Structure 1
Amino acid sequence: MKIKDISVCMASPDGDKAAFDFAKMLAVANDAHLSCAAFTVLPPMILGYGDGSAGEVYASILQQTRDTMSGAWKKFEDSVDQQSPAIEMRHFEAFPNRVESLSAMNARHADIVVVRAPGKSDEQPHADLLEGVLLGGGRPVLIVPEEWSGTTVGQRAMIAWDASREATRALHDSLLLMNDDAKVCVATVDAKPGDTSHGAGPAWDVGAHLSRHVGDVEVRNEDSIGRSTAEALMDVATSFDADLIVMGGYRHSRLQQAFLPGVTRTLLREAKVPLLLSH
């Protein structure tokens, strides 16, 4: 299957420009339809006591947010109207607790969804956009680092392989982004041979499988040697000069992730190249 329908989820026209520019580039390269899910995230309700002025203050903040974002999205929409290809705008206004469900609904109508990576200082609402698409949308999500300005993706891809269902799904979704001559590195960290996980040789079988789809595949079984799994994977991606990291997303519950940051969460904040996640 080819990419023919792309959606980019944005929380602001300026902060998410890298994600939009990449989604547009991907749409042009694949002659695909591009839609933009433009979110206006409203401030949470203020609860107060005393003279009852909290309601008036909140109403003022709410209206100011709507006016500011309406103007920003209007300016953005006017600019994209002058561009090619045509871009379908989908506007969503939501309180924070609705962002995840709305982004999931939007994702179900695309082949792939592009989201800007959550920043270290502004996790919300991008974490909610991402988790909605990934956990509720059933679609692969391509996460673009805020400062990324590359022009290619999928020509040199690193597959983070842990023999899980999520990793298998991500691997096959990533084929949407690769040409027949793509170079791929399948990386494991501290993998051990096993009957029901990696098989006789970690990543050997999946490497052979991938070689039937793309031009050049190598397998790297990395020892962590005191590094975290995420650090080891980023070192492999750097040495391979990868333009894409592919991995299964969020194997633990979100509650566990909050207290025990895992590989997915670390790579989202530290990776210098786009990530393709599937769940």
Structure 2
Amino acid sequence: MANLEKRSREIHKQLRGRWRRYEVDREHCDNASVGDAVRQRALCTDLTIIGPGLLNDTSLGPLVINGSLFETGKPLLVVPEAAEASLPPKRVLVGWDSRVEASRAVREARDLLSGAEEVRIALVDPEATCTGSGAEPGFDIADYLTRHGARVLVDRLPSAGKPASTVLAQHAIDTSADMIVMGAYGSRGLRERLFGGVTRWMVGKPPLPLFLAR
């Protein structure tokens, strides 16, 4: 409780000089209640942000992801250690695969994407089809974002046998991206797996904020 009170005062001090109106909530509860406590707050927010403290906490981290992402449908921004989370970002890489989760991530991040100097739609091993990705993979979502004022480029990337996450991470480095936007796949029951995937993504990858939606 003492640590919670101290942390609350620190946050108040940081926010007081930047915002006229803000609110700091404190919750002291057992692990079984963490998800619900986070859910209640996330339902009334635009975005939940998880920093390196929670990202490195294998006990609380999955509970917070479950409560904020899976229980609300609201987006989540994961900020790893050493990342510079500038809002709005100047250059954004979007991992696109024509799935519902990727579409929701783009929709939720639309304001950020529209305000960016450059948005790159990255597709790994796309196939041109009559349905799904379309005859020109990536052009449909590029047109959608262009109509909303985004400056969009489409990059079709070969995997060369590598995992898609590895290809996207390297492309983020090559294009000097400030943020990665992608869909979060899995079900509520797979929250630990998603959390593990997020943490594995961050370890050894460029320290970039990761915007997730499902």
- In 2, Cα distance between equivalents of 1:256 and 1:95: 18
- In 2, Cα distance between equivalents of 1:120 and 1:126: 6
Equivalent residue runs for 1:1-279 within 5 Å: 66-70=1-5, 72-77=6-11, 79-80=13-14, 82-86=16-20, 87-117=22-52, 121-180=56-115, 182-251=117-186, 254-255=189-190, 258=193, 262=197, 264=198, 266-269=200-203, 270-279=205-214
SS at match of 2:129: coil
- In 2, Cα distance between equivalents of 1:110 and 1:256: 21
- In 1, Cα distance between equivalents of 2:163 and 2:63: 25
Decide which structure has greater strand share.
1
Q: Which residue type is aligned with residue 76 of structure 1? A: E
Q: CA deviation at 1:148?
A: 1.5
Q: CA deviation at 1:78?
A: 5.1
- In 1, Cα distance between equivalents of 2:186 and 2:167: 18
SS at match of 2:23: strand
Aligned residues: 212
1 or 2 for the larger relative contact order (CA 8 Å, sep ≥6)?
A: 2
Q: CA deviation at 1:254?
A: 4.1
CA contact under 8 A between 1:182 and 1:214: conserved in structure 2?
Answer: no
Unaligned runs of at least 5 residues, structure 2: none
- In 2, Cα distance between equivalents of 1:80 and 1:140: 24
CA contact under 8 A between 1:257 and 1:265: conserved in structure 2?
Answer: no
Alignment root-mean-square deviation, CA:
2.7
Q: CA deviation at 1:255?
A: 3.6
Q: Which residue type is aligned with residue 66 of structure 2? A: E
CA contact under 8 A between 1:118 and 1:127: conserved in structure 2?
Answer: no
CA contact under 8 A between 2:12 and 2:24: conserved in structure 1?
Answer: no
Q: CA deviation at 1:160?
A: 0.4
CA contact under 8 A between 2:62 and 2:192: conserved in structure 1?
Answer: no
Distance 1:272 1:166, change over 3 A: same
Q: Deviations over 1:74-110 (max 9, x none)?
A: 5325524642314211111121122122111110111
SS at match of 1:92: coil
TM-score of the superposed pair, with normalisation by structure 1: 0.67
SS at match of 1:105: helix
Q: Which residue type is aligned with residue 120 of structure 2? A: C
CA contact under 8 A between 1:116 and 1:126: conserved in structure 2?
Answer: no
- In 2, Cα distance between equivalents of 1:222 and 1:252: 28
- In 2, Cα distance between equivalents of 1:172 and 1:214: 13
Distance 1:123 1:222, change over 3 A: same
Distance 1:69 1:257, change over 3 A: closer
Percent identity over the alignment is: 24
Deviates more, 1:246-255 or 1:107-116: 246-255
- In 2, Cα distance between equivalents of 1:211 and 1:226: 32
CA contact under 8 A between 2:172 and 2:180: conserved in structure 1?
Answer: yes
Distance 1:271 1:181, change over 3 A: closer
Structure 1 runs of 4+ aligned residues shifted over 4 Å read 117-121
Q: CA deviation at 1:252?
A: 5.2
Distance 1:119 1:234, change over 3 A: farther
- In 2, Cα distance between equivalents of 1:170 and 1:162: 11
SS at match of 2:39: helix
CA contact under 8 A between 1:180 and 1:213: conserved in structure 2?
Answer: no
